């Protein structure tokens, strides 16, 4: 099976490389090169990135000892890594003798696993206005907020004005966003009806242009919304809960964590080793009380007793924050505190409670106007998974042998040399989703819990499934046929629009904006001008309907605490005042973006914690401790989303950026202006025409606004 998959990958590369000699516009040839260190023995190098769904494209050895590959890529920004001698470099910025693995990388981004991906920015090769429009792509044509949104890409700075010419009249378009090499023009029509349309405009040199060039040619919209937006998402406020570390309301189920832990299935030799890259052997699982010290097992096998009844007990607290959507980390039977090593997808984890507890929680959440989504892990399971245990016992005679990728048998559970596992962690055997039986099983799991009462699904590492596009197209078809309002969210860390074209997911976990733009801007590491360009590129790359459905977040169970990332201090310390200001700046921007703002449990209370200290960011909430300033700020943000309808629309338009000050509009009529300043000194911004009120104050301003340092303000238009 593995040889067949590799052969298909190689054939795909041959065709792709053959095309690279003469790339068809808008694709351009891009060459990637790996240069080994002196005396480094290299037997294989492959290119893996967002452009190939992190699949394997073998690179070719050259006479000078380098390895290279030239491919055709559309303009865009692509995270990637070289896969060298069958191993991932942890950090593409430092893994080559302390230096970059690819010196030609443009910059680096968090890979979600404690390292960094390299990023290559691919710019187009064109002249003039170079208009681009594809009505099959929601980035160019979609229905958002019940309106038909039509957009045109042009080369940056080349178009002076653009109009949408239709069989219903001519509509002026506005420049919505501008990035390094492109910009997007937008028109929004209130009627979603069949339409014939084309574009015409004037270039900066005074010449006119039309697209299509043939005056008799038109684009068409049949009047059908092929990718419906979920309005309950765009109007919502989200909160992520890591159940074991939230609140313990039922101490009687605490000992069940030890009875179901993964250690019961592993020989001592293969007991869980310290996370990912070290070989330190650690002790067995144990129960802890809040305030107990963090141990090397804190990430995964130090249990604190949080449970479903604990979430139920805190629903009113969440309602006070304006929360309308709960995202629960895995609640199914598993062998760890995090739950991503599933033992039984159809059983609630005993350490968290019973199925009746879960039903009561969902009913109580619904009564408060909250919807709940669950975490789904189709890529891998735990070694206690019933089918894997059958393989352990019966080997090739097991009917589930082909549910996994077994390399040798007999074997001891936990041995990563015996079978394919997630990131070579033997406690996480990889599922063979190419097997129709496995796929069918997983589809039914998803539907079962939606029928039970969940409102949507967050999918773990979807890019790592072997047949990801086909698998998720089928999953979407089945889910939407029965639950058209179910929210399907993919854990994708980079800006990868291919996942949200209407055939796979509704939304991404928007780390690309949260940690790729907002966090470095709030830290002061990214200037306002760069943040403007990056936000623009995001707006232009995905459909406006998707922008309104994305899960916008900065911190999660997979990252350090936001307050720590902002310089607030390490676990157990008191947060620095400047970091609190930066957190208020960052969270205001997060809540002001279109889409669902998602807060990781405890961030609203001012919790600190670094990922490097055995995942200290996952330490339980200490409910007798809270920073009132931060908590009050998050309450105000929740009210703001409710009181300002423009903040829950899909519409956003970039305004300006200068000397630390960043500003953008919200709403279909630009009725709200969001302004931020990441500098330690006040900044000034020229305001759009009209009268503007600073929300939360009676102050009305015109012409110019003085923006305090390390702050974000929201202004509402109050006059013409």
Tell me the residue ranges of DSSP E strands in 424-477.
456-459
Q: Tokens 């107990």 belong to which residue?
A: 292
Which of 110, 183, 460, 603 is an active site residue? 460
Distance CA 281, CA 266 (A): 13
Six token digits for residue 582: 């930066």
Bridge partners of 209?
Answer: 201
Closest C-alpha to 261, from 210, 211, 297: 297
Closest C-alpha to 605, from 565, 633, 578, 577: 633
Determine how many CB atoms are found less than 10 A away from the CB of residue 417: 10
Distance CA 511, CA 491 (A): 9
Cβ-contact 233, 507 below 8 angstroms: yes
Residue 252 annotated as catalytic:
no
Residue 604 annotated as catalytic:
no
Determine how many CB atoms are found less than 10 A away from the CB of residue 623: 15
Closest C-alpha to 548, from 609, 598, 600, 594: 594
Distance CA 685, CA 674 (A): 11
Cβ-contact 589, 647 below 8 angstroms: no
Closest C-alpha to 665, from 602, 587, 717: 717
Distance of alpha carbon 322 from the chain centroid: 22
Distance CA 511, CA 521 (A): 14
Sign of CA dihedral 375, 378, 383, 389: positive
Q: Tokens 């351009």 belong to which residue?
A: 28
Which of 491, 603, 670, 716 is an active site residue? 491
Distance of alpha carbon 660 from the chain centroid: 26
- Residues marked as catalytic: 460, 491
């Amino acid at each position: 099976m593995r040889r067949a998959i590799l052969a298909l990958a190689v054939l795909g590369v041959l065709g792709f490389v053959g095309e690279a000699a003469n790339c068809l516009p808008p694709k351009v040839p891009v060459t990637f090169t790996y240069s080994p260190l002196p005396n480094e023995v290299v037997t294989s190098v492959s290119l893996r990135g967002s452009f190939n769904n992190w699949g394997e494209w073998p690179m070719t050895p050259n006479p000078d000892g380098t390895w290279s590959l030239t491919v055709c890529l559309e303009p865009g920004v692509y995270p990637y890594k070289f896969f060298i001698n069958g191993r991932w470099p942890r950090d593409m910025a430092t893994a080559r003798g302390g230096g970059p693995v690819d010196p030609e990388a443009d910059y680096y981004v968090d890979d979600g696993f404690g390292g960094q991906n390299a990023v290559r920015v691919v710019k187009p090769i064109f002249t003039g206005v170079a208009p681009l429009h594809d009505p099959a792509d929601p980035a160019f044509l979609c229905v958002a907020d019940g309106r038909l949104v039509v957009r045109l890409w042009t080369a940056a700075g080349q178009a002076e004005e653009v109009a949408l010419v239709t069989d219903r009249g001519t509509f002026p378009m506005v420049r919505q966003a501008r990035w390094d090499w492109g910009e997007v023009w937008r028109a929004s029509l209130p009627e979603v009806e069949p339409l014939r349309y084309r574009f015409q405009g004037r270039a900066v040199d005074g010449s006119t242009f039309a697209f299509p060039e043939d005056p008799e040619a038109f684009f068409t919209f049949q009047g059908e919304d092929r990718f419906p937006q979920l309005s309950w998402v765009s109007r919502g406020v989200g909160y992520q809960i890591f159940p074991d570390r939230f609140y313990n309301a039922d101490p009687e189920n605490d000992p069940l964590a030890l009875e179901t832990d993964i250690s019961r299935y592993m020989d001592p030799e293969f007991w869980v080793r310290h996370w990912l890259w070290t070989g330190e052997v650690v002790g067995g699982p144990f129960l802890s009380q809040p305030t107990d010290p963090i141990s090397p097992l804190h990430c995964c096998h130090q249990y604190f007793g949080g449970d479903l009844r604990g979430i139920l007990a805190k629903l009113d607290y969440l309602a006070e924050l304006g929360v309308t959507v709960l995202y629960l980390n895995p609640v199914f039977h598993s062998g760890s505190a995090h739950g991503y090593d599933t033992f039984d997808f159809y059983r609630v984890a005993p350490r968290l409670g019973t199925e009746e507890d879960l039903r009561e929680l969902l009913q109580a959440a619904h009564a408060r106007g909250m919807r709940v989504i669950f975490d789904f892990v189709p890529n891998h399971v735990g070694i206690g998974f019933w089918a894997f245990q059958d393989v352990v016992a019966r080997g090739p005679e097991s009917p589930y042998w082909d549910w996994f990728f077994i390399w040798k048998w007999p074997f001891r559970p936990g041995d990563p040399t015996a079978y394919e596992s997630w990131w070579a962690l033997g406690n996480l055997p990889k599922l063979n989703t190419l097997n129709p039986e496995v796929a069918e099983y997983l589809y039914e799991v998803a539907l079962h819990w939606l029928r039970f009462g969940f409102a949507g699904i967050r999918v773990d590492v979807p890019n790592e499934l072997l047949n990801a596009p086909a698998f998720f197209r089928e999953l979407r078809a089945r889910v939407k046929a029965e639950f058209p309002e179910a929210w399907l969210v993919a854990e994708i860390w980079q800006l990868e629009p291919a996942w949200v074209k209407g055939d796979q997911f509704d939304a991404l976990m928007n780390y690309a904006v949260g940690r790729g733009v907002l966090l470095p801007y709030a830290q002061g590491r990214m200037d306002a001008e760069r943040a403007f360009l990056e936000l623009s590129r995001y707006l232009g790359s995905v459909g406006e309907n998707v922008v309104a459905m994305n899960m916008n977040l900065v911190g999660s169970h997979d990252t350090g605490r936001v307050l720590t990332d902002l310089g607030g201090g390490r676990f157990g310390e008191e947060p620095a005042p400047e970091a609190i200001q930066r957190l208020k700046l960052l969270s205001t921007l997060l809540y002001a973006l279109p889409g669902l703002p998602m807060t990781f449990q405890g961030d609203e209370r001012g919790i600190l914690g670094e990922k490097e200290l055995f995942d200290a960011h996952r330490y339980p909430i200490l409910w007798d401790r809270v920073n009132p300033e931060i908590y009050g700020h998050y309450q105000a943000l929740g009210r703001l989303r409710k009181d300002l309808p423009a903040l829950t629309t899909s519409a956003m338009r970039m305004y300006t950026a200068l000397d630390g000050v960043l500003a953008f509009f919200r709403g279909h009529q630009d009725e709200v202006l969001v302004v931020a300043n990441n500098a330690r000194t006040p900044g000034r911004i020229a305001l759009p025409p009209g009268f503007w009120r600073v929300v939360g104050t009676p102050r009305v301003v015109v012409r110019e606004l003085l923006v305090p340092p390390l702050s974000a303000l929201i202004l509402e238009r109050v006059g013409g």
